[in-house]
A = this chain, B = another copy of it.
Amino acid sequence: MIYLDNAATSWPKPESVYQTVDKIMRQTGANPGRSGHTMAVEASRIVQETRELVSELFVISHSSQVVFTLNVTDSLNLALKGLLQPGDHVITSSIEHNAMVRPLEALRKNGVEVSKVATSLINGVSPQDVKKEIKSNTKLIAMTHASNVTGTLNPIREIGKIAKEHGIIFLVDSAQTAGVFPINVEEMNIDLLAFPGHKSLLGCQGVGGLYINRRLVLKTLREGGTGSKSESLEQPDELPERYESGTLNTPGIGGLGAGIKYIIATGMEKIKKHDEMLTNTLLAGLNKIPGVILYGPPLGHQRASVVSFNIKGASSGEVCSILDRSFQIAVRPGLHCAPDAHQVLGTLRGGTVRISPSYFTTEEDIQTCLQAIAIIANEIC
């Protein structure tokens, strides 16, 4: 099977990730931060090591500013609901995933003002357009680094500058970029960075995280046991415990650590170049297939490693189904949980076929996929 659904979850993982998860389950099954016995201390060390690796990757000065969650959706909910009060104004782009769109919609119904800035699926949101939306009650600018439908990049460095100039908090969803694109929270003026563990960071499902700038105190999404200040009925203020109630996913967090170690050892630049090579091969090949409609940034334009297309006369579901059944190629059809992006593309009705390679995808995989698409397009058109 050729797996090209890495924008959902990356697969395979480095061998070290599988082995780390298994080793922790077998040897370090205790609760981190909950007792003083040797195994619990070792579990804490594992969690802390990953916290430091995340900090190294995103240039975070204090690892206590990194909190672990269930997934990036959980992280975004914590960031948005922890920060925004009725009467606050938030600016976002029009190519967001439902992980951003739906909590914002829930907040909007609760009195938060939401401005969605019209967004190009070639260049992303315009910094000037974002600037125009700023009002006296603008508390937050919240957007994805890259569209999960087309790979379109939002200019987060420029947006970060604007946010800083206006004293506005800046939240970035790095679901499609963390682990491939360099992210420096200090330099990019990012106050809240939500990341998934199981995509390009190469960890397993069940772990996400949020970087929280030290000057921010968020309301908690869940309270509970933290292993600290247990005598208090109230959630402690200290980071990271304040936002990490209940037992952490130690094997998952350890696996994420192994994923990040792999990225650091390989070099993010090398991973990015490989992704770019595959994406360019894909775009060049798709461009040549009659009946294929391509969406998003054109060949040669910077993008995350995500390509969306359709074949004239066929639904995205039909194409994916044939790719799966007749060619053992796994891609994803439909809306990819991002209706706003499809609204911009004009594909809200049928969605698109999405191909998302990873560092473990080979050029041969892409060529095989292109041949299969050519056969399908030829039969349909």
A residues sitting closer than 8 Å to B (CB atoms) are: 1, 3, 5, 8-13, 17-18, 21-22, 25-26, 29-31, 34-40, 69-74, 76-77, 97-99, 101-103, 105-106, 196, 198, 204-208, 220-227, 230-235, 245-252, 317, 320-321, 323-324, 328, 330-339, 342, 348
Pick the residue among B17, B21, B234, B338 that contacts A230 (CB under 8 A).
B338
Identify 21 residue pairs between A and B in the complex whose beta-carbon atoms are under 8 Å apart, listed by A's number. A1-B38, A8-B40, A8-B247, A10-B29, A11-B39, A12-B26, A37-B324, A70-B70, A72-B246, A73-B222, A73-B246, A98-B225, A102-B224, A102-B245, A204-B251, A205-B251, A206-B250, A206-B251, A230-B337, A230-B338, A231-B348
Q: Which residues of B contact A73 (CB under 8 A)?
A: 222, 224-225, 245-247
Q: Which residues of B contact A249 (CB under 8 A)?
A: 70, 204-207, 249, 252
**Are B339 and A247 in contact, CB atoms less than 8 angstroms apart?**
no
Please report whether the interface of chain A is mostly helix, strand, loop or mixed according to DSSP.
Answer: loop
Bound together, the chains give a CA A235 to CA B30 distance in angstroms of 35
Bound together, the chains give a CA A196 to CA B333 distance in angstroms of 34
- Select the residue from A205, A207, A234 with max chain B CB neighbours within 10 A: A205
**Are A30 and B5 in contact, CB atoms less than 8 angstroms apart?**
yes
Bound together, the chains give a CA A21 to CA B39 distance in angstroms of 21
**Are A36 and B321 in contact, CB atoms less than 8 angstroms apart?**
yes
With both beta carbons as reference points, the residue of chain B lying nearest to A230 in the complex is identified as B335
Given contacts A13-B25, A29-B13, contact A35 B72 (CB under 8 A): no
**Are A106 and B235 in contact, CB atoms less than 8 angstroms apart?**
yes
**Are A30 and B18 in contact, CB atoms less than 8 angstroms apart?**
no
Q: How far is the CB of A105 from chain B (nearest CB, A)?
A: 4
Given contacts A30-B3, A37-B324, A226-B337, contact A205 B248 (CB under 8 A): yes
Q: How far is the CB of A50 from chain B (nearest CB, A)?
A: 13
Q: How far is the CB of A160 from chain B (nearest CB, A)?
A: 24
**Are B339 and A233 in contact, CB atoms less than 8 angstroms apart?**
yes
Q: Which residues of B contact A230 (CB under 8 A)?
A: 98, 334-339
Q: How far is the CB of A206 from chain B (nearest CB, A)?
A: 3
Given contacts A30-B9, A332-B34, contact A233 B105 (CB under 8 A): yes
With both beta carbons as reference points, the residue of chain B lying nearest to A38 in the complex is identified as B324
Q: Which residues of B contact A208 (CB under 8 A)?
A: 246
With both beta carbons as reference points, the residue of chain B lying nearest to A222 in the complex is identified as B77
4 smallest beta-carbon distances between A and B, as pairs: A73-B246, A206-B249, A225-B337, A11-B29
Q: Which residues of B contact A223 (CB under 8 A)?
A: 77, 98, 102-103, 105-106
With A11-B29, A71-B247, A231-B348 already in contact, 12 other A-B pairs whose C-beta atoms are closer than 8 Å: A5-B30, A36-B324, A69-B70, A74-B246, A77-B223, A98-B223, A102-B224, A205-B247, A205-B251, A206-B248, A206-B250, A252-B252
Q: Which residues of B contact A332 (CB under 8 A)?
A: 34-35, 37, 40
Q: Which residues of B contact A331 (CB under 8 A)?
A: 35, 37
